[in-house]
Chains A and B, each alone.
Chain A
Amino acid sequence: MTTQIFEPQTTKSDYSKNIDSLTSTRRLLQNVEIYILILPFITLVILFILAPLGWIIINAFYNDLGELTLGNIKDIFSSKFYLQAIGLSLKISLYSSVISLLIGFQGAYSLEVIKDSTLGRILIAINTVLSNFSGVPLAFAMIIVFGSSGVMTLVLAKLGLTNIIDIYSFNGILLSYIYFQIPLATLLLFPAISGLEKHWQENAYLLGASAFQYFFKVGLPVLSPAIMGTFIILFANALGAYATAYALTSGSFNILPIRIAALIAGNLTLQPNMAAALALILVSLMFIVTIVHQYLLGRYHT
């Protein structure tokens, strides 16, 4: 550290004591400077992350009359409707993450092989754009293609194929989720796969390993932290996603984010405390996922 340059060694004369107090004042000033510099950052983190989170945690345990209660949480776990929302949220997050991870893994691997060609560079750029193309615009694009009078629906109908996919159903929404998760999975896994050393593969082959053996004994173990991390991000991303399902179904698809929004900004009766309780459950699910991830990561490293 640069401050250490000014620190005198342990000599106990008055002179050095003076210097001591001088440098400590200077250090104090420097620290004040530092805290002033990061104050705006801390303020915004408190105002827009911690305070809203605190509001949710507190209000989840109050009812509309202002009484401290566990009633909201009990109501959620005894309501088929809310339990369905939690179940559907977990299901669509799990399915979309696993499918996108499998497809995206091969995608990242293939991109890595061709990354130096012109085609590769163009495809990497397209993948980056696609990973940002989610929410309302994606929902609209899906409706235009797969909706009841969508382009693909009409083309398929011409070929005599009807009811292939209903974009407003669970499977349709799952498809939309997969559409925005695949480019994200590819993008997140790409750096890790780039980090695989070419000579490991060559060495494995020289030692007589098959491509299959190399993949399962070398590639996969090395990549597993990145794969787990990517899975967690995909899962959390899907669990918190609101815009895509909301725009597709106008808020009729029963998942947690849509339930929360309906309780806070819907046209029906507003129940902010119930919204807080549901939000708390969503955050708890996120934390469980994160902790499992940390645990697995820790076990992997030991």
Chain B
Amino acid sequence: MSNQPANTINSPMGGKQRTKSEVNKIYHSLYILILLTIITIPIASTGIYAISGNWSQSILPESWTFQWLLQIWTDERFLWACFYSFLLCISGALLSITLIFPVLLIVHTKKPHWQRWINFVLVLPFAVPPIVSSIGVLNLYSDFLNNKIGAILILIGCYFTIVLPFVYRALDSNFLAIGVKDLIESSNLMGATSLKTVFYVVMPNLKTGFIVAFFISVSFLIGEFVYVNILIGGQFETIQIYLYSLKNLSGHLSSAVVISYFFILLIITAIINMFSGSKRRG
């Protein structure tokens, strides 16, 4: 994170105004702090529950243990679920970026009038939620869903539709920021071929955009439950499905999974912030 000096925050109005704006700031900090504290209560309690031995008599647990977390992270089933989750998320994210990048390139250089159609396509995933399209997918592609490879390929296709609007918007803002059209024109003027231009000029400039789009996609897809639950008849598990299977078992174990999942999300978000932060500064 960048270190801006604290006194640059707008206080042009002089003494009396400044104290007023400081009071203001305290009020806003308090509001957001209290709000997020309340929203974080379930997660914080889950975290405490995941490392507590016995917790039923008092406000804080009577004993602490890492037993549950250890049990989860040494459970082969959970590790396989993590493997499938990441396999699906990473493939889905990479596929989406790979397919959406050329579309953006064309819209920004050759066919700007396509934007209207693209906008329509981008609204579709909101208007047709996964619970709806999963029914169509289940009936149309049932033959592919019977084996693991087919099921994974179908799921990756579904995942593409989930992140499509987010990847498009994320990359789109980057295209605008680096001025792709000017870059390509000047590169062509200097005699580079279009392909060369894309690989050596456009793509390196979009590196941060790709990374941010990738991790945003992963953070969305890792929470996906509908498609996997409806399309995959128990052929394999993702983290979400594994967690759901713990429903009527130990609350400590499911807490351990929930808090592990939360930390995975936290790490992904930290990575996104790191890269989008460095972009803002550079």
Which secondary structure characterizes the binding site on chain A?
helix
Is the CB of A34 closer than 8 A to any CB of chain B? yes
Stretch at the interface among B62-70, B128-136, B202-210: B128-136
B14 to A: closest C-beta gap in Å: 13
Within 8 A of A (CB), among B232-254: 240, 243-244, 247, 251, 254
* B1 contacts across to A, CB distance below 8 A: 118, 121
CA–CA, A137 and B85, complex, Å:
14
Pick from A103, A120, A233, A257: contact of B131, CB below 8 A.
Answer: A257
Within 8 A of B (CB), among A14-65: 30, 34, 37-38, 40-41, 44-45, 47-56, 59
CA–CA, A114 and B10, complex, Å:
11
Can you list 21 A-B contacts with CB-CB less than 8 angstroms, sorted by A residue number? A2-B184, A45-B164, A52-B140, A56-B132, A103-B35, A110-B29, A125-B269, A128-B273, A130-B36, A130-B43, A132-B269, A133-B43, A138-B42, A145-B45, A149-B56, A151-B49, A155-B59, A240-B129, A242-B225, A243-B226, A279-B135
Contact (Cβ within 8 A) B230 A264: yes
Residue-wise interface mask of B (37-57) relative to A, using a CB-CB cutoff of 8 A (1 in contact, 0 not): 001111101101100000110
Is the CB of B124 closer than 8 A to any CB of chain A? yes
* A135 contacts across to B, CB distance below 8 A: 223, 225, 240
Within 8 A of A (CB), among B148-180: 157-158, 160-161, 164
Contact (Cβ within 8 A) A52 B110: no
CA–CA, A30 and B261, complex, Å:
47
Report A's interface with B, CB cutoff 8 A: 1-3, 30, 34, 37-38, 40-41, 44-45, 47-56, 59, 103, 106-107, 109-111, 113-114, 116-121, 123, 125-130, 132-138, 140-146, 149, 151-152, 154-155, 158, 179, 182-183, 198, 233, 236, 239-240, 242-243, 247, 250, 257, 260-261, 264-265, 272, 275-276, 279, 282-283, 286-287, 290
* A250 contacts across to B, CB distance below 8 A: 247
Residue-wise interface mask of B (177-221) relative to A, using a CB-CB cutoff of 8 A (1 in contact, 0 not): 000000011001000000000000000000000000000000110
Evaluate whether A38 and B103 lie within 8 angstroms (CB atoms) in the complex, with A51-B136, A125-B270, A286-B126 already known: yes
Contact (Cβ within 8 A) B157 A133: no
Evaluate whether A114 and B29 lie within 8 angstroms (CB atoms) in the complex, with A37-B102, A54-B136, A136-B240 already known: yes
* A120 contacts across to B, CB distance below 8 A: 29
Q: How large is the interface on B (under 10, 10 to 19, 20 to 34, 35 or more residues)?
A: 35 or more
* B43 contacts across to A, CB distance below 8 A: 130, 133, 141
Contact (Cβ within 8 A) B40 A275: no
Evaluate whether A151 and B55 lie within 8 angstroms (CB atoms) in the complex, with A103-B35, A283-B127 already known: yes
Contact (Cβ within 8 A) A49 B161: yes
CA–CA, A154 and B132, complex, Å:
39
Nearest residue (CB) in B for A240 is B129
Within 8 A of A (CB), among B109-140: 109-111, 121, 123-140
Contact (Cβ within 8 A) B157 A264: no
B140 to A: closest C-beta gap in Å: 6
* B99 contacts across to A, CB distance below 8 A: 40-41, 44
New A-B contacts (16) at CB < 8 Å, excluding given A2-B110, A144-B258, A264-B230: A2-B188, A34-B111, A38-B102, A41-B102, A45-B121, A51-B140, A56-B132, A106-B35, A116-B8, A129-B262, A132-B219, A134-B223, A136-B244, A144-B254, A233-B126, A286-B127
Evaluate whether A3 and B28 lie within 8 angstroms (CB atoms) in the complex, with A40-B99, A145-B42 already known: no
CA–CA, A157 and B35, complex, Å:
24
Pick from B24, B103, B157: contact of A48, CB below 8 A.
Answer: B157
* B157 contacts across to A, CB distance below 8 A: 44, 47-48
Pick from B49, B121, B220: contact of A144, CB below 8 A.
Answer: B49
Nearest residue (CB) in B for A53 is B128
* B39 contacts across to A, CB distance below 8 A: 130, 179, 182-183
Evaluate whether A144 and B42 lie within 8 angstroms (CB atoms) in the complex, with A38-B103, A51-B140, A103-B35 already known: yes
Is the CB of B87 closer than 8 A to any CB of chain A? no
Within 8 A of A (CB), among B81-120: 99-100, 102-103, 105-106, 109-111
Contact (Cβ within 8 A) A261 B230: yes
Nearest residue (CB) in A for B10 is A198
CA–CA, A110 and B1, complex, Å:
20
Contact (Cβ within 8 A) B133 A126: no
Contact (Cβ within 8 A) B265 A129: yes
Evaluate whether A2 and B109 lie within 8 angstroms (CB atoms) in the complex, with A53-B132, A55-B139 already known: yes
* B10 contacts across to A, CB distance below 8 A: 198
Contact (Cβ within 8 A) A145 B111: no
Pick from B42, B128, B225: contact of A136, CB below 8 A.
Answer: B225
Contact (Cβ within 8 A) B160 A2: no
Nearest residue (CB) in B for A147 is B251
